[in-house]
Amino acid sequence: MDPKNQKPLKIHLVCSAHSPEFAHLTQSLTRSSLVALDAEWKSIRSHKSQFPTVTLLQLACQLGPRLGADPDESAESEDSVTFLVDLSSIPLSSIWELLRDVFASPDILKLGFRFKQDLIYLSSTFCAQGCDPGFDRVIA
């Protein structure tokens, strides 16, 4: 693709479960065919857990065709969208089920670097905040 024709990358910062960005994240994850994930943390461990607490989750979603779109349209009808989710600012229970469904879906390809480590740290972080233990079912 010619760099002159590329759209500028817009990154959505999700800091509240009641924000338009959170609603956009929810809609995007339910339309995604591919999700790239990366978790960020400080290497400081809490007294409650042997693993660090994840504070930022980066998600890039490749979206399928828009609802109502002509199935014969080209791949140009598809979009991608990027999010930074501040896990220290939102109630983790508000996003836990959504992420669990993404991880368990055979229709969504999950990409990540050292993804297993991210899952362990994410599971520990969510569990420490009262969510069900871990993301026990991940289909790549």
Q: Which domains does the chain have, with CATH numbers?
A: 9-65+75-128 (3.30.420.10)
- The one-digit pLDDT tens for each residue of the chain (140 residues) are 566 666 777 899 999 999 999 999 999 999 999 999 999 998 765 566 688 899 999 999 998 765 555 555 544 445 899 999 999 999 999 999 999 999 989 999 999 998 889 999 999 899 888 888 667 677 76
Q: Answer yes or no: are the C-beta atoms of 13 and 86 closer than 8 Å.
A: yes
Kindly report the backbone phi and psi dihedral angles of residue 64, in degrees, each rounded to the nearest multiple of 5, phi listed first: -80, 180
The set of residues, in sequence order, having a beta carbon less than 8 Å from that of 26 and lying 6+ positions away, is 98
Cα gap 92→90, rounded to integer Å: 6
